[in-house]
Every structure is written in structure tokens, then in C-alpha cells.
């Protein structure tokens, strides 16, 4: 028994509007906190280090404030909000359904007495009065339904009964959006992928919520056939583009030329053009092959990494290694970084027999190879290999989010612009005034506009029908200043 | 509770203002026409000329609306409406011309945003006046339009090509929805304020709330820009016509000496009326309310003086920077937020003074409190779906451009908070039956959040939304 009543208490609390408002306020508060404190997923780790003292940062991290939107308490809060919406809807649904399914067509005396918006017009001819009523109702856009039974004839008019569900539509749409977000949170992923021109990749780097990065495989490969950028005259970027090919299980499944704002989708995974740049890898270098130090008319040759280019019938040159920034240790050459700051090329002069003479060319130190070889080399230009920067995301819950948005737009339209209006008319015997036509109206929104409509209808009926005693208007004031 | 309509005032006094405003406008128009003919600054229907025409008509309309506010003569409203409508047509021509030249709707930088904003405000003024009968709204919206157009003259107005992320139809849809919804929220705010006037909220309460709003503006300025007595302003590159950046996303600040102290002084002057208000309440001494009002005069005066000093020193100065060696030039276009904050604060002060002097007259000509309450609700009924669509289209665009429909970016988050606050208003009204005062407070709170979302997030918080 105790369990049942506790459950009842929980249910009652969550289903109350007051709880809903409180939860709303707490959500607002926590969300605001997340905008004022730097959040790890969207801020550089260094910037966070710089902005807070170590102790402050430690406490912020411990309390989860540096990634508040993914903490257990924020997610619980959103869960409670969803529950509250669900419970309040369940709580009120039976009444709403009953109201919708069983319209109150025939009026009873106590209803007629207590309805706030009503009017009575003394009439001589009941049938004529009802006809006039029907005309007036129709003229104002309200449908007409005659209800005939053994005791009386009455008229019932109703429009937009569906609007009683408006609130449920809006709340359901909110839940749909949340559901989409939850699905994406649990199953979806987002990451970054750099693909060099001409190469393929099938791994993305996930951005962990604590700023760390983890690799993750995607179910197919992406090959970048070409990548480029267009600029405006003033140098500002105009367009980033890539030609991508999806290779799935060995076959080319799809091709697309993508640009920013126009991604490519394959099996639910979206590939967005985020950026492009030059990698630390060499595409081609332009070497000048000279016969000696005094030869000013050296031959210009473009050659790529691990490629051999012929200089003349006897000799060719091959690029063995390329290091964008080098350093020497223990007589060996190593790569210091990917930045094109201080490059080093290991070249090989290959003669007809295939014999190689290896040499190093370090342009910043001395832009000519120092070994005494038939040809000496200098570097005159270099093209770095471009890469395309792709943002990759898998968001299976997305459809729920957009469906929810559309549903919400519909729901809000119903809430604000679809008013449930009802009119009743019946001829009754009033002890004081004899036979009168009783007219009543009710609406669920925009009362003042409906009251004006009601007043106009009553006036029309009054002038068409009854005796010149212009009809007593009882109930509350009909006119609004 | 409805109040009696204004009695007919003698019409003789009414003509003076009409004639002077008409003469003033005619003079400016002819002068502008001569200038255009002489200097051949583009075709008559060109953007800058049409903008100037709309400025003249909005200014005339504003003067007439304010005249109506002060005297209650209904004739002014008739002419003010006509002036607003003509200004709106000229504004439409200006926006249309810009659209034609740029090849896209005017939404991509501050200048264009202000252009669209002023257009929307004029439209809403006409709707509120004709559709809902709130005639006085022009006295608030027209001065705002005039100030915005003046502010626009400071912005770089050349048509710049768009960076890749902004090249999307969804941009236009999202931004127009943002403009419309913020404008609707602004109108609901004005209506809620008018409700409080009609609902007999005490003048002293208005005074302290205005003083607190002013103090908030100056606290934000001083807290973020005070540097050892000077005021930090963003440096301006006259060649590029843009702000100077030291690094990706980091602007260069030049420090104008001694200006910081002036702003601290102004800040203190806004605090004094607040303090006097509390002294009056604590001691139950009405005299202090009078002193507080005098304090309001003083602070408005000081703010105007500070604005003049700011404009003079910043317009074309060269000042040192803390981060980089050398002198850097400053210019007004680099500080749109500071300028808007200062001008807005003075404007709020002037509106308070209008209320102080003419409360009874105002109360006679405004619609009834009940009516205002209803119209506020209806306006929010327009604003809320627009806000919803704004957020939705923003999410869709973000998804297309950056791969995620919701990344808890500060601007996104604050837009959601704004939405939640207005949802709160609707809940309280519909399910709890909150009307009147409480609903008005909620509507005002909602607009404060809108202001923060629009200005505060861009100005005070970092994020992806750095475009506007």
C-alpha cells in the first residue's frame, strides 16, 4: 500500500503545472551557467587553461561545470522535464478525450442558467426563430446542426473542436524532439576527417566531450579525388569544395562534388566540407638540374615523392625523402614538425645503369647540392599536398527532431489560431417572458473577438425575428471597450 | 478599467507643431535633392538617397508622435502615420535597391541588419496603430528608427561577398525570422510598459527600474572596458574598413585615456537615484523621491555629456594598446554596442522623464489596461511561433553547414532560454490564469532576455555565432 501511495505522490508532483514551471526555471539556470563558464567540447584546451586558475579549474571540472550539458544531473533534469510533460498529458488526456468525443449538444436548464455568455429574445413563432438563428449562424461562418427529439428542437453549432488537443500536439512534438536528441546522444557520433588529395580514409577523430580525441572507424572509405578553394578578389574565401567518392566493400558507391552548406549523405552518415589546407606532405617539387655551379641554365623538372624524372638520356633524378622541418641527431635526419619551415630533400641521381648517388638538398642552408656529381640540384618551387577537412556526422535521430519541429509548428498554429467555438439555440418557456429564444456561446480562446461575433449574431436575429423589445441581454457585458 | 478618451484640445495650438515639422522636413528634402543633383551621388531611387528620405520622414513622424504624447492632439497622429508610411515606402526602396545590387537580401552584416530592422519596426508600428489601435507606439518606435539609421551611417556599407558558411537560403529565412520575432517581442515589451502605466504602477517604481537598467548598461561597459583609468575600444583599420584583429577571433583594444574615469562617474550617477529610492522607502520620506528624480535628471545629463565626449575622442583618435606596440586608430563604427548601450540608456531616461511630466495626459490617451493586457498577449502569440521557427531554421542551417543541429553554442542556448521564458509566460497565463501585473512583468523579463541574447551573447560571450 505504501508503495502505491508513494508512486501516487510522485505522479501527482510530476504531473502538476507548478513542477513543470520549476523544472523549466532550473533548466534555464543550468543552461545559462553553461554559456558563462567555458565548455570543454567547444573550447581549446589551452584557452581553458589560460582563463581559469588551476584550483578554480579543478573545481569546475569536478562539479562538471566545464561540460555541463553532458553531466548526469543535466541529463536527469531533461529526463524529468520529459517525464513531467508525459505525466501531465496522461493526467489530462481522459478529460480532453471525453470533451472531444462527446460534444454537449443539447442544453439543460442549469447549463443555460450558468453559461456566462448568453442572450434571450422573446419570440412569437418558434420555427421562424430557429430558421433566423440558422441563417445568422451560417452568415458568421458557423455550421448548423438541428437536434430534434420528442421534447424540443434546438440548434447546435460548433467549429474547430480539434483545438482542444492543440496542447497535446505541442507537447508531443517537444517529446519527439527530445527523443531525437537522446537517440543521437546515445548512438550518433561526430568527428573530423582529413583526407589527402588522391588518398582514402576510413577513420574519423571523434571529439570527446572532455576535449580528448579518439579514433573511430566508419563503415566505408572516403576517397578524395580533388580539393580546391576559390577566393574573392579581396582574398576572402568564396568557396571550399571537394570531389569525394565513397568506396563501400570495394566498389564505388557514390560520388559527389561537395561544398560548404551542401554535404554528402551515405547510409545515414553525412560528410560536410569544413575546411581545406596544405598538409606537411609534398606533392611535387620543382628542381633545377645544373651541370655545375656556374651553369645558369639548369633544366627545370617537376618531380613527386618516390618518383623518378629524367634529366637527359643518361641521368634521372628521384626524390627519396621529404621533410618539411628537419633536425639532425647522431648523423641521422629526422622530422621536427609538419610545418614547411626548413625543408630537406633526399635526392638520388640515377645513371643509365641504375646506380644511385644520394645527396641531401637543404634549400634554406644552401640551395644547391654540394656533392660533386654530374648534375647538381636546387629547389625552385614546391607544391604541398592538399587535404580536405571533412566534418563527419551520424545522427540517426535527426528525423525525429525535424518531425517534431513540423509537428510543433502545426501545434502552435492550432493553439493560437484555431479557436473552439460553440453556439446553442433553443426556444424555451420563460416564466417571466413567455416564449423566448435562448442563445448561448462558448469558446476556449480569444474571448473578446468571439463575444463581438456573438453580439452581432444576436442583434441580427433580434432584428429579424422577435417583437421590437430589442431582446434582454443577460449575463456579463458583451461589449468590450 | 477603461478611462475616458482625451477631450478635444483647441486645434489652434496643434497647427504650430504640424507646420514647423512640415517645414523642417521640406527643407531637408529640398536640401538633399539639391545635393544629389549637384554631386550626382547615384540615382534618386538609389539606396543611400532613399535611406535619407526615410530618415527625414521617420524623424518627422517621431516628432509628431512625441507631440501627440505630450499634448494629446489626435491630428498629429494622422500626419505622423502618413509620414511613417512614406518613410516605410522609401525604406522599402532602399532595401530593395540594396538587394538588387548585392544580389541577395540584406542580412549579412551590421549595416544590412539595421536596414532590415528599421524596415520591420516601421511595419510593426503601422500594424500596431491601424490593427490594434495603439497610437502612441510610434513615439517609441520612430525615435528608435531614427537613431538606428544614424547608427547605420557609421557602419561600413559596402557590399561584401559572403564567406562560404553564409551562402545559404536558410540564412535569409533564419535571419528574417529572427528580425520579426525580436521586433514582435520589442512591441510586446512596449505594450507591457504601457500596461504598467495604465495599471497605476507608481512613478517611483518606474524611476528605480529605469535607473537600474541604466546602471546595468554602465556596469557592463565599465566591467569589460575599464583599463587603469582609460576605456578600451576596438581598433579600426581604415584601409580594410573593419576591426583590427591580433589573432583569430581576438580583437585589438586601444585604450582611450581618462575616458574610463568618466564612465565610472556616470555609473555612480546612475546608482545615486537607486540609492535615494531605497532611502525614501526605508525612511518613508517622500522628499527623497523628489531628490531621486533630480538624480535622474543629473544622470541623463551626465550620460549625454559622456556620449559627446566619447564621440569626440573616439571618432578619429589614435591610442596605444596594451597588447601590441604602437598607436592604433579608433573610429565609431568599431563600437556599435557601446554606442547602442549609451544611446538606449539616454532614450530610456528621456521616456521616464516624459512619463514623469505627462503621466496623466498619457494615461488618458492610452487604451485601457485590460485592452493593453490582451494585446500584449496577442503580440506574444505572434512572437512565440516566430521564435520557434527561428530556432528551428537556425538548427536546420547549422546542420547543413556544421554537421550538428544543436551544439549548445551560447547564442543557441540563449535563444532556447528566451523561448523557455516566453513559454513560461504562456503557461502562467493559460493554465494559471495570470493576468495583469504578473503577466506584464513576465513579458518585460522575456524582452530583457531577448536583449541579452541579441547583444549580450555577441558582446560578452564567445562562440561560433560571431558573424553578427
CATH of the domain at A455: 3.30.310.50
Per-residue model confidence (pLDDT) at position A281 = 83
Query: Between chains, do A35 and B413 touch, taking CB under 8 Å as contact?
Result: yes
CA atoms within 13 A on the CB side of B394: 23
B-proximal residues of A, 436-455, CB under 8 Å = 448
Query: Between chains, do B405 and A398 touch, taking CB under 8 Å as contact?
Result: yes
* Mean pLDDT (chain B, rounded): 83
Q: What is the ipTM of this complex?
A: 0.77
pLDDT band at residue B1 using 50, 70 and 90 as cut-offs: very low
Lowest mean per-residue pLDDT among A44-58, B94-108, B451-465: B451-465
Residue A49 domain boundaries:
2-100
- Residues A73 and A190 placed together within one structural domain of the fold: no
Q: Which segments within B101-244 are labelled E, that is strand?
A: 226-227, 230-234, 236-237, 242-243
Of A420, A417, A415, A445, the C-alpha closest to A173 is A415
B-proximal residues of A, 207-246, CB under 8 Å = 232, 234, 236-240
| Residue to test with chain B: of A35, A242, A258, most B Cβ within 10 A | A35
Q: Can you give the length of chain B in residues?
A: 468
Minimum-distance CB partner of A24 among B163, B381, B420 = B420
pLDDT band at residue B41 using 50, 70 and 90 as cut-offs: low
- Residues A201 and A227 placed together within one structural domain of the fold: yes
Q: What percent of chain A has pLDDT over 70?
A: 95
Per-residue model confidence (pLDDT) at position A159 = 93
Of B57, B70, B52, the C-alpha closest to B24 is B57
What's the mean pLDDT in A259-267? 85
Per-residue model confidence (pLDDT) at position A296 = 79
DSSP H or E run through B393: helix B369-402
In this complex, is the C-beta atom of A90 within 8 Å of any C-beta atom belonging to chain B? Answer: no
- Residues A24 and A151 placed together within one structural domain of the fold: no
What are the chain B neighbours of A35 within 8 Å (beta carbons)?
410, 413-414, 457, 461
- Residues A111 and A91 placed together within one structural domain of the fold: no
The number of distinct structural domains making up chain A is 4
Residue A474 lies in a domain: no
pLDDT of B56 > 50? The answer is yes
C-alpha–C-alpha distance, residues B155 and B134, integer Å: 33
pLDDT band at residue A467 using 50, 70 and 90 as cut-offs: low
pTM for this structure?
0.80
- Residues A7 and A85 placed together within one structural domain of the fold: yes
Higher pLDDT, A45 or A123: A123
Q: Which three cell numbers stand for residue A172?
A: 508531443
Per-residue model confidence (pLDDT) at position B8 = 41
Residue A173 lies in a domain: no
Question: How many C-beta neighbours within 10 Å does residue A97 have?
Answer: 13
pLDDT band at residue B10 using 50, 70 and 90 as cut-offs: very low
C-alpha–C-alpha distance, residues A373 and A360, integer Å: 12
Per-residue model confidence (pLDDT) at position A2 = 66
Residue A168 lies in a domain: no
The model's pLDDT over B288-303, given as tens digits with 9 standing for 90+, comes to 999 999 999 999 999 9
Per-residue model confidence (pLDDT) at position B3 = 34
Of B309, B350, B344, the C-alpha closest to B454 is B344
Per-residue model confidence (pLDDT) at position B4 = 36
Minimal CA separation from B137 to chain A, in Å: 19
C-alpha–C-alpha distance, residues B260 and B257, integer Å: 7
Per DSSP, the residues of A305-373 read BT-EEESSSS-EEEEEEEESEEEEETTEEEEEESSTTB-EEEEEEE-TT--EEEEEEBTTTBSS--S--
Of B206, B193, B195, B200, the C-alpha closest to B368 is B195
C-alpha–C-alpha distance, residues B105 and B95, integer Å: 8
Residue of B nearest to A237 (CA): B163
Residue A413 lies in a domain: no
The model's pLDDT over B163-219, given as tens digits with 9 standing for 90+, comes to 776 677 787 788 888 888 888 898 888 889 889 999 989 899 999 999 999 999 999
Per-residue model confidence (pLDDT) at position B248 = 64
C-alpha–C-alpha distance, residues A298 and B176, integer Å: 62
What's the mean pLDDT in B437-444? 90
Q: Are B447 and B185 in contact (CB under 8 A)?
A: yes
In this complex, is the C-beta atom of B374 within 8 Å of any C-beta atom belonging to chain A? Answer: yes
Higher pLDDT, B80 or B104: B80
Q: Are A391 and A269 in contact (CB under 8 A)?
A: no
Query: Between chains, do A28 and B396 touch, taking CB under 8 Å as contact?
Result: no
Q: Are B98 and B115 in contact (CB under 8 A)?
A: yes
| Sign of the CA dihedral running B153, B158, B163, B169 | positive
What's the mean pLDDT in B82-109? 89
Q: What percent of chain B has pLDDT over 90?
A: 25
C-alpha–C-alpha distance, residues A214 and A210, integer Å: 11
- Residues A261 and A330 placed together within one structural domain of the fold: no
Amino acid at each position: 500500500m505504501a508503495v502505491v501511495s508513494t508512486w501516487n505522490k510522485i505522479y501527482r508532483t510530476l504531473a502538476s503545472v507548478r513542477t513543470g514551471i520549476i523544472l523549466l526555471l532550473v533548466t534555464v539556470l543550468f543552461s545559462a551557467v553553461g554559456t558563462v563558464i567555458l565548455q570543454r567540447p567547444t573550447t581549446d584546451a589551452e584557452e581553458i587553461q589560460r582563463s581559469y586558475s588551476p584550483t578554480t579549474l579543478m573545481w569546475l571540472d569536478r562539479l562538471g561545470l566545464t561540460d555541463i550539458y553532458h553531466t548526469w544531473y543535466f541529463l536527469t533534469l531533461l529526463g524529468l522535464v520529459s517525464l513531467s510533460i508525459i505525466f501531465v498529458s496522461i493526467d489530462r488526456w481522459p478529460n480532453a478525450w471525453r470533451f472531444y468525443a462527446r460534444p454537449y449538444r443539447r442544453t439543460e436548464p442549469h447549463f443555460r442558467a450558468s453559461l456566462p455568455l448568453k442572450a434571450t429574445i422573446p419570440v412569437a413563432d418558434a420555427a421562424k426563430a430557429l430558421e433566423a438563428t440558422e441563417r445568422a449562424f451560417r452568415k458568421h461562418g458557423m455550421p448548423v446542426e438541428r437536434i430534434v427529439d420528442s421534447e424540443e428542437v434546438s440548434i447546435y453549432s460548433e467549429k474547430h473542436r480539434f483545438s482542444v488537443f492543440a496542447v497535446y500536439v505541442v507537447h508531443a512534438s517537444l517529446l519527439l524532439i527530445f527523443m531525437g536528441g537522446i537517440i543521437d546522444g546515445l548512438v550518433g557520433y561526430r568527428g573530423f576527417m582529413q583526407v589527402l588529395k588522391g588518398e582514402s580514409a576510413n577513420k574519423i577523430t571523434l571529439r570527446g566531450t572532455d576535449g580528448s580525441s579518439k579514433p573511430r572507424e566508419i563503415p566505408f572509405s572516403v576517397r578524395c579525388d580533388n580539393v580546391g578553394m576559390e577566393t574573392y578578389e579581396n582574398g576572402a574565401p568564396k568557396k571550399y569544395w571537394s570531389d569525394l567518392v565513397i568506396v563501400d566493400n570495394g566498389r564505388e558507391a557514390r560520388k559527389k562534388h561537395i561544398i560548404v552548406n551542401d554535404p554528402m549523405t551515405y547510409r545515414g552518415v553525412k560528410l560536410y566540407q569544413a575546411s581545406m589546407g596544405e598538409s606537411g606532405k609534398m606533392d611535387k617539387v620543382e628542381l633545377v638540374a645544373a651541370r655545375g655551379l656556374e651553369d645558369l641554365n639548369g633544366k627545370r623538372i617537376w618531380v613527386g615523392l618516390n618518383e623518378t624524372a629524367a634529366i637527359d638520356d643518361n641521368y634521372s633524378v628521384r626524390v627519396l625523402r621529404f621533410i618539411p622541418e628537419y633536425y639532425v641527431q647522431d648523423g641521422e635526419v629526422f622530422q621536427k614538425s609538419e610545418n614547411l619551415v626548413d625543408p630537406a630533400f633526399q635526392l638520388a641521381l640515377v645513371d643509365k645503369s641504375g646506380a644511385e648517388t644520394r645527396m641531401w638538398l637543404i634549400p634554406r642552408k644552401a640551395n644547391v647540392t654540394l656533392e660533386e656529381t654530374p648534375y647538381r640540384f636546387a629547389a625552385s618551387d614546391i607544391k604541398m599536398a592538399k587535404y580536405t577537412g571533412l566534418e563527419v556526422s551520424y545522427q540517426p535521430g535527426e528525423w525525429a527532431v525535424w518531425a517534431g519541429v513540423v509537428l510543433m509548428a502545426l501545434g502552435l498554429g492550432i493553439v493560437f489560431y484555431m479557436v473552439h467555438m460553440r453556439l446553442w439555440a433553443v426556444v424555451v418557456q420563460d416564466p417571466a417572458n413567455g416564449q423566448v429564444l435562448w442563445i448561448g456561446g462558448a469558446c476556449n480562446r480569444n474571448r473578446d473577438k468571439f463575444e463581438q461575433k456573438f453580439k452581432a449574431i444576436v442583434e441580427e436575429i433580434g432584428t429579424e425575428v422577435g417583437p421590437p423589445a430589442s431582446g434582454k441581454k443577460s449575463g456579463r457585458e458583451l461589449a468590450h471597450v | 478599467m477603461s478611462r475616458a478618451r482625451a477631450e478635444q484640445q483647441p486645434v489652434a495650438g496643434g497647427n504650430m507643431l504640424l507646420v514647423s515639422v512640415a517645414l523642417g522636413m521640406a527643407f531637408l528634402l529640398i536640401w538633399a535633392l539639391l545635393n544629389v543633383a549637384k554631386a550626382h551621388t547615384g540615382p534618386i531611387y538609389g539606396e543611400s538617397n532613399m535611406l535619407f528620405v526615410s530618415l527625414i520622414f521617420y524623424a518627422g513622424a517621431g516628432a509628431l508622435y512625441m507631440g501627440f504624447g505630450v499634448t494629446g492632439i489626435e491630428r498629429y497622429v494622422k500626419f505622423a502615420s502618413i509620414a511613417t508610411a512614406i518613410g516605410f515606402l522609401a525604406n522599402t526602396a532602399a532595401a530593395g535597391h540594396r538587394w538588387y545590387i548585392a544580389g541577395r537580401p540584406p542580412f549579412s552584416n551590421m549595416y544590412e541588419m539595421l536596414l532590415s530592422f528599421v524596415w520591420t519596426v516601421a511595419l510593426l508600428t503601422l500594424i500596431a496603430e491601424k490593427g490594434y489601435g495603439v497610437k502612441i507606439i510610434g513615439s517609441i518606435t520612430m525615435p528608435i528608427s531614427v537613431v538606428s539609421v544614424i547608427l547605420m551611417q557609421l557602419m561600413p556599407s559596402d557590399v561584401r561577398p559572403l564567406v562560404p558558411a553564409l551562402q545559404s537560403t536558410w540564412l535569409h529565412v533564419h535571419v528574417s525570422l529572427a528580425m520579426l520575432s525580436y521586433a514582435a517581442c520589442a512591441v510586446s515589451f512596449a505594450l507591457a510598459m504601457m500596461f504598467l502605466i495604465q495599471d497605476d504602477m507608481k512613478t517611483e517604481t518606474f524611476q528605480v527600474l529605469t535607473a537600474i537598467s541604466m546602471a546595468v548598461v554602465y556596469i557592463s561597459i565599465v566591467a569589460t572596458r575599464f583599463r587603469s583609468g582609460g576605456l578600451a575600444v576596438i581598433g579600426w583599420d581604415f584601409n580594410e574598413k573593419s576591426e583590427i584583429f591580433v589573432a583569430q577571433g581576438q580583437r585589438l583594444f586601444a585604450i582611450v585615456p581618462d575616458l574610463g574615469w568618466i564612465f565610472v562617474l556616470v555609473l555612480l550617477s546612475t546608482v545615486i537615484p537607486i540609492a535615494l529610492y531605497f532611502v525614501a522607502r526605508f525612511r518613508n520620506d517622500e522628499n527623497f523621491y523628489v531628490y531621486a528624480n533630480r538624480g535622474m535628471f543629473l544622470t541623463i545629463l551626465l550620460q549625454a555629456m559622456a556620449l559627446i565626449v566619447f564621440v569626440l575622442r573616439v571618432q578619429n583618435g589614435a591610442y596605444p594598446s596594451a597588447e601590441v606596440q604602437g598607436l592604433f586608430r579608433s573610429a565609431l563604427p568599431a563600437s556599435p554596442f557601446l554606442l547602442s548601450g549609451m544611446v538606449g540608456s539616454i532614450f530610456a531616461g528621456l521616456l521616464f522623464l516624459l512619463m514623469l511630466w505627462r503621466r496623466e495626459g498619457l494615461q488618458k490617451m492610452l487604451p485601457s489596461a485590460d485592452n493593453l493586457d490582451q494585446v500584449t498577449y496577442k503580440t506574444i502569440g505572434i512572437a512565440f511561433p516566430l521564435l520557434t521557427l527561428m530556432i528551428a531554421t537556425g538548427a536546420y542551417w547549422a546542420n547543413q553547414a556544421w554537421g550538428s543541429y544543436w551544439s549548445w553554442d551560447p547564442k543557441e542556448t540563449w535563444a532556447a532560454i528566451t523561448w523557455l521564458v516566453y513559454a513560461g509566460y504562456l503557461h502562467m497565463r493559460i493554465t494559471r490564469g495570470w493576468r495583469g501585473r504578473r503577466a506584464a512583468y513576465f513579458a518585460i523579463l522575456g524582452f530583457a532576455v531577448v536583449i541579452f541574447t541579441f547583444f549580450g551573447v555577441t558582446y560578452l560571450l564567445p562562440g561560433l555565432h560571431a558573424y553578427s
